[in-house]
Structure 1
Amino acid sequence: MIDLTLDEVARITGGTLVLGDHAVAQGTNESTIVNGLVDTDSREIGTGGIFVAKPGEFSDGHLFIPAAIDNGADLVICERVIDDLAVPQIVVADSVDALAALATEVVRRIRAGGVLKVVGITGSNGKTTTKNLVRTILERRGPTVAPRDSFNNEVGAPLTMLKLESDSQYLVAEMGASKPGEISRLVRMARPDVGVVLTVGLAHAGEFGGIEKTLQTKTEMVTDLLSTDVAVLNIDDFRVEGMAAKTSASVLWFGLESGADVRATDLVATSTGTTFTLSLPTGESQSVRFGVLGEHHVMNALAAAAVAHTLGVPLAEIVDALQSVTRAERWRMEVLPTTKGVTIINDAYNASPDSMLAGLKTLAQISGEGIRRVAILGEMSELGEFSLAEHDRIGRTIVRLGIERIFVIGEGARALHLAATHEGSWDGESAFFETADEAYALLETELRPGDVVLVKSSNSAGLRFLGDRLGELFA
């Protein structure tokens, strides 16, 4: 984080500065500088860090203040006075609001230097992959800050923004939401120069209350953009396409359709990635050997290329950076290294109907003599009233794709198993297990050389750990 005095942090967050048990008059600590990394996880705090104590659903961050100080915290931001602390504390009304205010001010100050460019990315699927691709391109040109993992909510996004330094040239902000208004909140913090919308689908539809609420929320990315900004939109998604009428920004389209400004043609998907021709609005084009497994990830590559083009990156640099990426992210279409003839694709960090279908289509595309395709599937969470119908639809689709063996794990995915069984043309195509351990016991003996295995579920189902176990088994 940039240098701030204790008094500045107190003013920005609307808090009261406290040393020991006594409030400190404003102005007495203007020479005390804090500039460490900010976090809500005491385990991530290091020397000079700033710990934000956030009450949570299952625990209270205030209980971990001593651990944060032991790990090196120089300042605590909290919602109540904590007695006998060895470091200053700033007491605020709401720690999440304080975090947002601090992030907003840090971004504003660095922007005032005239160098920082901000990219905001949202969508029902592909945010993390696109963020990683944009970061890979931009960090070659200058200091770039982007979130780790999927830090894209009201806490994770500002924590990422607070990693900015005075010389940062690019901020890549992944912006997720579980309800309307959350993306607007993040957009107001970061003020993107480039706002990206990838897709609008059923991911988190249960939380939003339907696809129309999801559309309304994702549209928040572009409604506050200025006329000098750029909205990078997916022309292949009709819901995203409609956002062009909702923004004052200029629009740059990406996709496979002929009307796209940044377009992919001549796609060839294989078990090692996808090759395609990337075309820019300048008329330039170049072949790309994209090593991220799954044809659907080409759309993420196009979005990243559109962002880079907007920021003045030459085509050759864009292509070179894209070709350097071999996996989307940990547990996202991650091909695990094995030596015993079994290929494990671990894609069990997130799952929506769209991403589940994309993963299964990728599995279906992998064919050849001696190859048996195996799907190990768990629940797609946060679908609410759509859950039964969507699991049923995916179960029937699997059989139609010709995937030879299906293992379904967990009660939340039982409807998928039943649908596959009803749709199947032979007995035993799909097997159901209550737990991952039960499935593993059979998979140990059933998987054989030549099998290609996709492990896919929402994070909450925990199948990513099963995927890792299988990777170790056949390593």
Structure 2
Amino acid sequence: MKHMTLKEISKACQGTYFGPEENLEKSVSSVVIDSRKVQKDSLFIAIRGARVDGHTFITKTIEAGALCALSEENLGDVDFSYILVDSCEQAMKAIAEHYRRSLDIKVVGISGSVGKTSTKEMIASVLSQKFNVLKTEGNFNNEIGLPLTIFNIREEHEVAVLEMGISHFGEMTRLAKMARPDICVLTNIGCAHLEHLQSRDGILKAKTEMFQYMNPNGTIIFNGDDDKLISFVPENKIKPIYFGFDDSLNYHADDIEDMGMHGTTAKFITPSSEFTAHITIPGEHMVYNALAGIAVGYALGMTDDEIKKGIESLVPLAGRNHLIETANLTIIDDCYNANPASMKASLDVLAKADTRTVAILGDMFELGDDADAMHYEVGAHAAQIGINVVISIGEYTRFLSSGAKNQNKGTEVHHYATKADFFKEMKNVIKPHDTILIKASHGMEFPEIVEKCEAF
């Protein structure tokens, strides 16, 4: 990471430094919260987790080469450097904010109810054709993950593409204060996290907190096909740029050719040009992602040829519409996370298969009082579009199964309380050459099902 001394760090987080005075002018090489990732001259931040307290590893990290530790506990008379703070989590955010301010880099902030990660991947793929890009990895998009991502920015990076995920009011404000985005992208306003945000209007309010700390001369990019976003006027007076299928929008798509499981080809129209590109990952939502990538590419001065190459270079991530072909099955691994909109979109992708189609679906979390009805709607949708077999696993998916059964479309429906129950019956409900969608909220831990299917 770019040079940041212990003196700077202590000041940034308003902590009290203890240890050798000569270390104050030394720079840390990295910032970590996992003791196993300590390198020479790392700063180790002792986070108190639900199961593990990082303070118990401080001495071990110093022995492993850490230059300093951040601690909420007074460590007494020790011969190494540490910074005493009231809250390690708050201190980490303050340090990340300080570090971000020191960087000469463009930041693209991405949020929305559905499609944050796939949009982030598309935008990063596009931008990497011209710039040295750092992007959010895995699920490092919250108040712990985002600062760690920011600390990974190096001097050679020219653009950072940061996914920003929230579930409560005020979270986006804290994320934006660290990220300070130059370009803000909102994919849509759906029904995720209704348990805390109550309504789509609440979700819109929470997501648009991002603009409070964005570059005042920056760019806002919205999905113009979203009814909430197309009518939203940012308080900072920045006029949004819109993308979508409507031909009145700044960036839109035409001549869309659905190639089933082999992706989509479309003509993309910009304010000054048009070009055709092939997206290898199936699903209509990927066309939206490509449009977002084009809008960001244009905002950063890219050419059509560079953008087209970035769109066509995109490869899927594990757990994100990742197509796996084995000797016996075709598997759509989309099990990283789920909400009603993304679940329906993935079922639409599954329906394109020219084999028997099987949907293995798990509970969707944080849907509030309407969770039962939303699961029911997903099951009904699966049957309506002709999915041959619906396998539901979990508590809420009882309602999903009911939704599928009650359509009377001939869909075969199975419900299991647990994954273990399903594994006992797996060979009886899955057949060779099936195309299988595997999707659920992250907490259901469905990668285990992907592994079982790969070995089928």
Q: Which structure 2 residues correspond to residues 385-464 of structure 1 after superposition, within 5 A?
A: 385-426=369-410, 429-464=412-447
- State whether residues 380 and 404 of structure 2, in contact with CA within 8 Å, keep that contact through their aligned partners in structure 1: yes
SS at match of 2:233: helix
2:318 is equivalent to residue 330 of structure 1: yes
**Whole-angstrom CA distance in 2 between matches of 1:58 and 1:320:** 45
**Structure 1 residue 445 displacement after superposition:** 4.2
Distance 2:235 2:285 in 1: 26
Instruction: Give percent identity, aligned residues only.
Output: 32
For this pair of structures, how many residues does the alignment match?
Answer: 455
* SS of aligned partner of 1:244: coil
> Any idea what the Cα deviations from partners look like across 1:325-349, whole Å, max 9, x if unmatched?
131x220111113122x21111111
User: In structure 2, what residue type is equivalent to 1:275?
Assistant: T
Q: Which amino acid aligns with 1:68?
A: T
Gaps of 5+ in 2: none
Distance apart, 1:444 and its partner CA: 2.8
Q: Structure 2 vs 1, CA of residues 373 and 85 (structure 1 numbering), >3 Å: closer, same or farther?
A: farther
Q: CA RMSD in A?
A: 1.9
Unaligned runs of 5+ in 1: none
TM-score by length of 1: 0.91
| Alpha-carbon shift at residue 413 of structure 1 (Å) | 1.6
Structure 2 length as normaliser, TM-score?
A: 0.94
Greater alpha carbon shift after TM alignment, 76-85 vs 355-364: 76-85
Further displaced range: 348-357 or 331-340: 331-340
Question: Is 1:103 matched with 2:96?
Answer: yes
Partner amino acid, structure 2, of 1:5: T
- Report if aligned partners of 1:228, 1:250 keep a CA contact under 8 Å in 2: no
Aligned partner of 1:276: which letter?
A
Preserved CA contact (<8 Å) 2:393 2:422: yes
Give the C-alpha shift of residue 83 in structure 1.
4.9
* Pairwise CA distance, 1:424: 2.8
Cα distance between partner residues in 1 of 2:57 and 2:131: 36
Q: Please list the CA deviations of residues 357-396 of structure 1 after superposition, one character each: whole Å capped at 9, or x if unmatched.
A: 1001111122x3xx11111010011112121110111111
CA-CA distance at 1:87 after TM superposition? 3.6
Comparing 386-395 and 72-81, the one that deviates more: 72-81
Amino acid at match of 2:430: L
1:16-66 alpha-carbon deviations (Å, 9 max, x no partner): 1112xxxx6xx75443222x2212222333333221111223432222334
Moved more, 250-259 or 192-201: 250-259
| Cα displacement (A) at 1:246 | 3.6
Q: 1:425 to 1:138 in 2, by over 3 A?
A: closer
Conserved? CA contact 2:181–2:215, under 8 Å: no
- Residue 339 of structure 2 is matched in structure 1 by 352
The residue matched to 2:25 in structure 1 has which SS? coil
The answer to whether the 8 Å contact 2:3/2:27 transfers is yes
Q: CA 1:97–1:271 in 2, change beyond 3 Å: closer, same or farther?
A: same
C-alpha displacement at 1:133, in angstroms? 1.9
Q: CA deviation at 1:458?
A: 0.5
Moved more, 40-49 or 352-361: 40-49
Query: Deviations 1:226-247 (Å, cap 9, x if unpaired)?
Result: 5521101110001122233444
Contact 1:177 1:183 in 2 (8 A): yes
The residue type equivalent to 2:349 in the other structure is T
SS of the counterpart of 2:351?
helix
Q: Which moved more, 1:444-453 or 1:314-323?
A: 444-453
What is the rounded CA distance, in whole Å, between the counterparts of 1:400 and 1:228 in structure 2?
A: 47
The amino acid that maps onto 1:228 is N
Amino acid at match of 2:422: A
> 1:436-455, CA deviations, whole angstroms, 9 ceiling, x for partnerless residues?
12212322344233311101
Residue by residue, what CA displacement relative to the aligned partner does 1:82-112 show, whole Å, maximum 9, x if unpaired? 357564111111112211111111111123x
